[in-house]
């Protein structure tokens, strides 16, 4: 059920409706929009009895939401959601494109700083890197853990980039929340519902990557899990799905971008690195992603891909990344979008 407030409903009226909903044993999710606030009602008690809700001051109408996803749906918010990072120009969603780049795994301070310097110069506003790696083999490099997170926090201080990194369980989530600006939920964990709920209680934005075999509905439901716990700063990421194709590691499903945008107000970005698994396909698919209307890109970049601890074959060299950004900028312009540089903080000594 969705309560649509009148255009001029006051904050007190919104609060009173939320209180009434909670007193009935449900959860209220107030979503301010450009023209009006909508309040989503969730809770696992089945159908909500409208009761006296529609008679409360400021209420325009009650709408039954029949889709399984409610808070991610455009029914509750018609316009696109924009995630903002106060004190910077970086946004995810809206007119600006979000460019995230960095190594698959954080390997050392030197490696992280070498990449961060180059990608920041090329136009990235976000630094990606894994400190906790969900590897197919238990014998592969598992990440530096908290040390990796500390290095990422230093990258933020030095270059002003916002940092995004994956949490693989509740324990790593506590630390990721402490050090990072965005929590990444990996493809393998897209249906780890307790982890999604924990992310929903985090105070920072969450990026949900599409599972390797997830349908559109399953993908949206994963985001719904996060939002249902009260975290509304959610973005989606298409990273390729498993098919019979053997010319790539995964099949990057760019058609999911307009499909998501039709149904959901959430921003969606594309990961052509995991999405193709091949360095030579990252630039063409990055161009394609922006042309179909994605809100940004997340790209693996390594100074020495041949010796990367993980995913070297799909990692771009910094100079190739810079060239890719140049090409993408031209396409962005044609799409009425731009890549806004992140405002650097003033740091003494440089």
Binding residues for ligand PEP (CB under 6 A): 104, 130, 186-188, 209, 239, 271, 274
Rank residues 239 and 337 by Cβ distance to ligand PEP and give the closer one.
Answer: 239
- Exposure letters 258-271 (e unless 16+ CB within 10 A, then b): ebbbebbbbbbbbb
Rank residues 18 and 104 by Cβ distance to Mn ion and give the closer one.
Answer: 104
**Smallest distance from ligand PEP to CB 187, Å:** 4
Q: How many helices (H) and strands (E) does the chain have?
A: 10, 14
Rg (CA), the chain: 21
Give me the residue whose beta carbon is nearest to Mn ion.
104
Task: Identify which range of 96-104, 138-146, 235-243, 318-326 contacts Mn ion by CB under 5 A.
Answer: 96-104
Site for Mn ion in 132-171 (CB under 5 A): none
Cα dihedral sign, 308-310-316-319: negative
**Smallest distance from ligand PEP to CB 214, Å:** 11
SS3 assignment, position 107: coil
Please choose, from the candidates 144, 129, 183, the residue with its C-alpha nearest in 3D space to the C-alpha of residue 300.
129
Residue 302's binding partner out of ligand PEP, Mn ion, none, with CB under 5 to 8 Å set by partner kind = none
| Contact flag: residue 271 with Mn ion (CB under 5 A) | no
CA atoms within 13 A on the CB side of 323: 9
**Smallest distance from ligand PEP to CB 232, Å:** 22
Site for Mn ion in 303-322 (CB under 5 A): 311
| Contact flag: residue 104 with Mn ion (CB under 5 A) | yes
**Smallest distance from Mn ion to CB 311, Å:** 4
Asked if residue 1 lies in contact with residue 65, where contact means CB atoms within 8 angstroms, the answer is yes
**Smallest distance from ligand PEP to CB 13, Å:** 42
Residue 332's binding partner out of ligand PEP, Mn ion, none, with CB under 5 to 8 Å set by partner kind = none
**Smallest distance from Mn ion to CB 246, Å:** 19
Rank residues 20 and 281 by Cβ distance to ligand PEP and give the closer one.
Answer: 281
Rank residues 113 and 141 by Cβ distance to ligand PEP and give the closer one.
Answer: 141
Task: Identify which range of 56-64, 102-110, 223-231, 260-268 contacts Mn ion by CB under 5 A.
Answer: 102-110
Angle at 195 between CA 190 and CA 197, to 5 degrees: 105
**Smallest distance from ligand PEP to CB 130, Å:** 5
Q: Which tokens go with 45?
A: 């008690």
Please name the residue that has the structure tokens 């926090």: 153
Kindly report the backbone phi and psi dihedral angles of residue 125, in degrees, each rounded to the nearest multiple of 5, phi listed first. Answer: -105, -15
Q: Which tokens go with 332?
A: 């962005």
How far apart CA 120 and CA 255 sit, in angstroms, is 29
Site for Mn ion in 9-28 (CB under 5 A): none
How many residues touch Mn ion under the rule CB under 5 A: the total is: 2
Tell which phi-psi region holds residue 72, choosing left (phi > 0), alpha (psi between -120 and 50) or beta. Answer: alpha
How far apart CA 123 and CA 338 sit, in angstroms, is 11
Rank residues 101 and 187 by Cβ distance to ligand PEP and give the closer one.
Answer: 187
Residues contributing to the site for Mn ion (CB under 5 A): 104, 311
């Amino acid at each position: 059920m969705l309560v649509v407030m009148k255009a001029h409903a006051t904050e007190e009226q919104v609060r009173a409706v939320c209180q009434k909903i909670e007193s009935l044993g449900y959860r209220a999710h107030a979503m301010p929009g450009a023209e009006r606030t909508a309040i989503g009602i969730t809770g696992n008690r089945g159908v909500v009895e409208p009761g006296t809700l529609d008679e409360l001051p400021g209420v325009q109408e009650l709408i039954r939401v029949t889709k399984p996803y409610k808070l991610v749906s455009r029914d509750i918010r018609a316009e696109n959601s924009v995630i903002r990072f106060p004190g910077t120009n970086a946004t995810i969603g809206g007119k600006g494109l979000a460019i995230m780049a960095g190594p698959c795994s954080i390997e050392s301070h030197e490696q992280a700083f070498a990449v961060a310097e180059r990608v920041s110069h090329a136009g990235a506003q976000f630094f990606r890197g894994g400190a906790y790696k969900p590897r197919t083999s238990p014998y592969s490099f598992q990440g530096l853990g908290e040390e990796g997170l500390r290095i990422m926090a230093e990258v933020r201080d030095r270059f002003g980039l916002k940092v995004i990194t994956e949490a693989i369980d509740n324990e790593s989530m506590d630390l990721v929340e402490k050090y990072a600006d965005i929590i990444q939920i990996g493809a393998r964990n897209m249906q780890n519902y307790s982890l999604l709920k924990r992310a929903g209680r985090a105070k920072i934005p969450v990026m949900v990557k599409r599972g390797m075999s997830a349908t559109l509905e399953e993908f949206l439901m994963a985001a719904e899990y996060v939002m249902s716990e009260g975290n509304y700063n959610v973005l989606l990421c298409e990273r390729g799905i498993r098919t019979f194709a053997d010319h790539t590691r995964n099949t990057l499903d760019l058609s999911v971008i307009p499909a998501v945008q039709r149904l959901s107000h959430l921003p969606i970005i594309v990961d052509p690195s995991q999405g193709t698994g091949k360095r030579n396909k990252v630039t063409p698919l990055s161009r394609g992603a922006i042309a179909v209307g994605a809100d940004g890109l997340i790209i693996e970049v390594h100074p020495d891909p041949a010796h990367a601890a993980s995913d070297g074959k799909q990692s771009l060299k910094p100079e190739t990344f810079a060239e890719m950004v140049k090409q993408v900028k031209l396409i962005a312009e044609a799409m009425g979008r731009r890549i806004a540089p992140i405002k650097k903080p003033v740091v003494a000594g440089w």
